[in-house]
Structure 1
Amino acid sequence: MTDSSPARLRDFGIRLGRFQTGPLNAITDVEGVAVGHVTLIEGDRTRTGATAILPHAGNLFQDKVPAGLAVLNGFGKFAGATQIDELGEIETPILLTNTLAVGRAIEAINRFTLSRTGNERVVSLNAVVGETNDSRLNDIRSARPSVEEMVAALEAAKGGAVAEGCVGAGTGTVAFGLKGGIGTSSRLVPVDGETYRLGVLVQSNYGGRLTIAGRPYDQLLEHDRDGSIVIVVATDAPLASRNLTRLAERCFGGLARTGAALSNGSGDYALAFSTSEAVRQTPARRAALAATPALPNDLVSPLFEAAIEATEEAILNSLTMATTMTGFNAANGKPATIRAISRTALAGR
C-alpha cells in the first residue's frame, strides 16, 4: 500500500469498539437506505459537491420516518431543524453540501419530492439539508453545486457500497488540517434477542488534535480548531423520536474520541432516523390513534454505544479514504493544497 492509496481504517489493522460491523461497514447496511453523490472537480477552483441520503425507497413525504436531531455547537445552517424538533419526523431525503449551497439544496429537494407519484397536491415541504464550509479548497462563491446537480445526487442514490473520501459533499472539506471528506461505518447490535443494524455517514470538516484509537496521530501536525461536521445515523431498530434524539446525541461521544476541538466556530450536528416499518409514520397512522411499538429506555444503551463506535470509525474512514487535493482558498484568493493523512504512519500503528 503506497502512501497515496486510499484505504479504510480496518485495512490498516485498526479496529474500534466491541460490536461487529455490517457486511459493508456502511450506512447502507441498514436495509432500504440509499446514498448518492455528485462530485465536482473542475479547473483550478471547483472542489465541491453534494451527498444525498434516502431513508427508504418509497415516497418519503407520504411514509415519513421518525427522527431526532442533536446540536452540540450551532455555528452552522441545518435546514429543517425546527420541524424535526417539533414533529420528530422527516419527510424528504437528506442533502449534505457546502454552506452557500443550502438554498439550492432546498430547491433540489423540493423538485425531487414534488415530482414523486402521489405528491401531486403537496404544497408544503420540510427539506432537510446539512452543510459544512469547503472554502479552503473550493471557490464557494461560484454557486456550485447547482440545483440540477443536486437533483442528480438524489436521483443517483442507491444501496450497496458507499464511495468515501473526496466525493460528494466531502470533495473540498478539511479535517484536523488534513484532507477530510465523506466517511461511513456500521454496527450489528444485539438487543433483547434481536440484532439491529445501525449505520453512520459523516461529512468531516472540523478541527482539533487528531486521535486514532486513543493515540495522538502526529504531535507535530499544525492543528486547526474551527470547522464543522454533519453526522447522519440510520437504524432499523424501532425507536421513537425521543430516543432517536438521544441516539443522535451519543454520536458526539465518537466525535470527541477523534480529538475534536468543539470550538466556538464549529457546527456540530447529528441527525438520527429509524427505517423500521413498525414506527413509520404512514398516512393511516397519522390520521388516527395508533399503537406504535418502540424499544423502551432500558433497552437502548447498546445502540447508544454502537453509535459512538460507528461515528468514530466513519470519521476516520473519511480521512483515510481521502487523497491530497489542490484547490482554491476562497478567503485569500490563492491556490491551496491540503495533504491527506499519512498511510505510512497508520500502517506502523
Structure 2
Amino acid sequence: MPTSPGPDPLPPTASRRARQLGLGVGHLPTGPHNALTDVPGIRVGHTTLIRPPRVHSGVTAIVPEGVGPDSPLPAGVFAGNGYGKLLGTTQIAELGALETPVLLTSTLSAFRVADALVGWILERPEGAGARSVNPVVGECNDGLLSDIRSRPVQEEHVRAALDSASAGRVAEGSVGAGTGMTALGFKAGIGTSSRRVQVAGREVTLGVLAQANFGGTLRVSGRTVAPADVGVPAEASDPGPETGSCVIVTATDAPLDARQLTRLARRSVYALARVGAGYGHGSGDYGLAFGTRPLGTPAGPTVVPDAGLDLLFGAVLDAVEEAVLNSLLTATAVTGPYGHTRYPLPAGPLLALLG
C-alpha cells in the first residue's frame, strides 16, 4: 500500500466505539462527536504512513484556532513517568503557555516533526515576526510494528496533517500517530472522547485525545481482560511492552489558569490506571492540558475556583478511560517488519465475556 500523505477517512470500525457497544464510561453527557473536537475551536488531522510490512507510522495534529507565539493559550503539563520525549515541555512548565499546535508521532520522527512545525508556524499570520517558537511534539515508540529507524515521517506529511485538520468526528485506531501503536496486549492507537460539565454556572466542554501505546493488563468495567480471554492469539516471541508510552492531550473551554490545567493534566495520567496501565520503566506517560481562551485577552469569565474543579477532574478521568477503550476497539490488525502481529480488542467476544 502506498504512503498516504492526505487526510484519512473515518475507519469502518467507527461503529465499534465503546459507547456504541454499551461501554460508555461515567454519567456525564458527551459532546456531539464524543471527541476532542467537541471543544470549540479545536481541529484534528492525521497523516497515515503504511508501506507493509516495513512501515506503519504517521503523525497526528491537534490544532487550536489562532494559537501562535503572539497568541498563546494557557497550558499545563505532567510527566507520570518521564521515559520519553515531549518536546517543548520545559517552557510550558515555566510559562504556562502553549504557542503552537500539538503534534504526535513516532519516537525517532519527533525531531523532524518539530522542525516542520516551526516552519509551518513561521509562514502563518500567527507566526509573523516571531523570533522564537516553542514547538510541542509528543511521541510513542512504534518499533514493534514499524521500522522505527527509517524515520519515515517527512515535512510534507506533517504539513498534510496540519492543513487537513478539521472539526467534527475524529478518525481513531490505527491512524496517524497511532498507526503502529499497541497497548495492554492489543493493537491500539488514537482514541478520543469528550464530556460536558456544568462549572461555575455555565456549561463547558472537556475533550481528550490519547496516543495509546503502553503496557499492563486491560480492565474493562472492572474486569481484567487478557488477549486470550477474547480469543486473541498470544505471541511467544513478543518482546513485551517495555518500549511503550502514552501521550494524552486534554482541551477545555472552561476558564482555567495554567496551574489548574496542570492539575487536570495530572489526572489524565492517573486515569490510565483505570484501564490497567502498568506504568513500566520504559513507558513515557505524559499529560498535556490547555484552555482555549488566549492568554492576555480582555477579562472573560472568572477563573473557576479550585473547589469547583472536581467535576472537571471526574470528566477527564472518564474521558481518558473511554478514549483508550476506543483506541483498542477501533484499531485494525497490523503485522510489522519483524513478524509480530497485534490484534484489536474484538467487540463480540468482549461483550460475551462481560455478560
Asked whether the two chains share a fold, i.e. TM above 0.5, the reply is yes
Within a 5 Å distance, the mapping from 1:1-349 to structure 2 comes to: 5=13, 7-56=16-65, 58-117=66-125, 119-218=127-226, 220=228, 224-226=240-242, 227-276=244-293, 280-282=294-296, 293-328=302-337, 334-348=338-352, 349=354
SS at match of 2:168: coil
**2:104 alignment partner, SS class:** strand
Of 22-31 and 338-347, more deviation after overlay is shown by: 338-347
> What SS does the aligned partner of 1:188 have?
strand
- 1:118, 1:176 → 2: CA distance? 40
Q: Deviations over 1:212-251 (max 9, x none)?
A: 1211113746694431000000000000000000011111
For the residue of structure 1 that corresponds to 2:152, the secondary structure is coil
Distance 1:38 1:118, change over 3 A: closer
Give % identity.
47
Q: Any conservation in 2 of the 1:225–1:261 contact (CA below 8 Å)?
A: no
- Alignment-derived partner of residue 7 in structure 2: none
Aligned length: 332
SS in 1 for 2:276: coil
- Structure-2 separation of matches of 1:257 and 1:159: 28
RMSD of the TM alignment (CA)? 1.8
CA distance in 1, matches of 2:274, 2:163: 35
In 2 relative to 1, CA 42–102 (structure 1 residues): closer, same or farther, beyond 3 Å?
Answer: same
Show CA shifts across 1:273-305 (max 9, x none): 0013xxx124x67xxxx7883111111110011
Looking at structure 2, the residues matched to 225 and 108 of structure 1 have their Cα atoms a distance apart, in angstroms, of: 30
Contact map agreement 1:9 1:313 (CA 8 A) in 2: yes
- What is the CA–CA distance in structure 2 between the aligned matches of 1:295 and 1:120, rounded to whole Å? 33
2:210 and 2:324 map into 1 onto residues whose CA distance is 6
What TM-score comes out, normalization by structure 2 length? 0.89
CA contact 1:71–1:269 (8 Å) conserved in 2: yes
TM-score where L is the length of structure 1: 0.91
Distance in 1, matches of 2:119 and 2:63, equals 15
The CA distance in 1 between the partners of 2:227 and 2:55, in whole Å, is: 32
Q: In 2, are the aligned partners of 1:39 and 1:50 still within 8 Å (CA)? A: yes
Query: Is the 8 Å Cα contact of residues 59 and 116 (structure 1) preserved in structure 2?
Result: no
- Secondary structure of the residue aligned to 1:344 is helix
Q: Which runs of 5+ in 2 are unaligned?
A: 1-11
How far apart in 2 are the matches of 1:298 and 1:5? Answer: 40
The 3-state SS of whatever aligns with 2:32 is coil
Once the two structures are overlaid, the 10-residue window that deviates more, 214-223 or 90-99, is: 214-223
- Tell me which stretches of 4 or more aligned residues in structure 1 moved more than 4 Å: 219-225
Matched residue type, 1:124? S
**Are residues 259 and 108 of structure 1, via their aligned partners in 2, closer, same or farther at CA, if it must alter by over 3 Å?**
same
SS at match of 2:255: coil
DSSP 3-state at the match of 2:340: strand
Gaps of 5+ in 1: 329-333
State the AA in 2 paired with 1:28.
T
